[in-house]
């Protein structure tokens, strides 16, 4: 059975939007190894419509990092969208209709991790619907001050810290799992 694992570059003030504007000064070999290890466990990638549009446009046309592009293209991708009608990127499945039921089916059918990087709106929905299994945050020692935050208008949900590591750059790698809630 698959686990849905979300990964975010995040600022101290909770911003996840536009990490290309503030993340790179903190990237080092430690972080690269952690990111590579996560990608190597990916049985598939889960994303929202906007992330799919961005990634498919970029990774199908760039040669800046062919290894990552080939890995992403060759791996199953699941796009949560009720508006996307066609996905041209190889190995892409559109998850539509009763998304919760469909994702539960996919989790039963797939072995390994379904990685989601970005797609904050989708991650909030996954957490609220009990579908998120793990949340990895790379908390960067910077206050961005503007942009989308990971948890905006999110219902209260307790999380349990299951791992932590401090990189030499001051970035914290924090791993959380949702705690069971009483219904």
Instruction: Give the residue extent of every domain in the chain.
Output: 2-178
Nearest to 23 by CA among 111, 139, 129, 175: 139
* Residue-wise pLDDT tens digits, 29-79: 999 999 888 888 899 999 999 989 998 998 888 888 888 888 888 899 999
Task: Note the CATH number of domain 2-178.
Answer: 3.40.430.10
3-state secondary structure of 130: coil
Rounded Cα distance, 57 and 164, in Å: 34
Out of 4-13, 83-92, 173-182, least confident range? 173-182
Which residues are registered as beta bridge partners of 172? Answer: 139, 166
Average pLDDT score over the chain: 92
Q: Which two tokens stand for residue 148?
A: 């989308």
Rounded Cα distance, 56 and 77, in Å: 10
Q: Is pLDDT at 183 greater than 60 in this prediction? A: no
- The DSSP secondary-structure symbol of 180 reads P
* Residue-wise pLDDT tens digits, 98-114: 999 999 999 999 999 99
Q: Residues 92-97: what's their mean pLDDT?
A: 95
The answer to whether 89 and 60 are in contact (CB under 8 A) is: yes
């Amino acid at each position: 059975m698959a686990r849905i694992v979300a990964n975010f570059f995040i600022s101290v003030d909770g911003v996840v939007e536009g990490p290309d504007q503030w993340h790179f000064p903190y990237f080092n070999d430690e972080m690269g190894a952690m990111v590579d290890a996560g990608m190597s466990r990916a049985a598939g990638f889960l994303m929202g419509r906007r992330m799919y549009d961005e990634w498919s446009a970029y990774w199908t046309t760039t040669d800046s990092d062919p290894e990552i592009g080939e890995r992403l293209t060759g791996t199953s991708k699941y796009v949560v969208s009720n508006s996307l009608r066609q996905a041209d990127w190889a190995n892409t499945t559109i998850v539509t209709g009763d998304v919760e039921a469909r994702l539960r089916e996919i989790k039963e059918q797939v072995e390994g991790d379904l990685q989601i990087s970005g797609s904050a709106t989708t991650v909030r929905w996954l957490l609220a619907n009990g579908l998120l299994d793990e949340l990895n945050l790379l908390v960067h020692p910077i206050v961005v001050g503007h942009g989308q935050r990971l948890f905006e208008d999110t219902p209260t949900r307790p999380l349990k810290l299951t791992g932590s590591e401090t990189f030499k750059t001051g970035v914290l790698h924090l791993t959380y799992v949702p705690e069971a809630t009483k219904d």
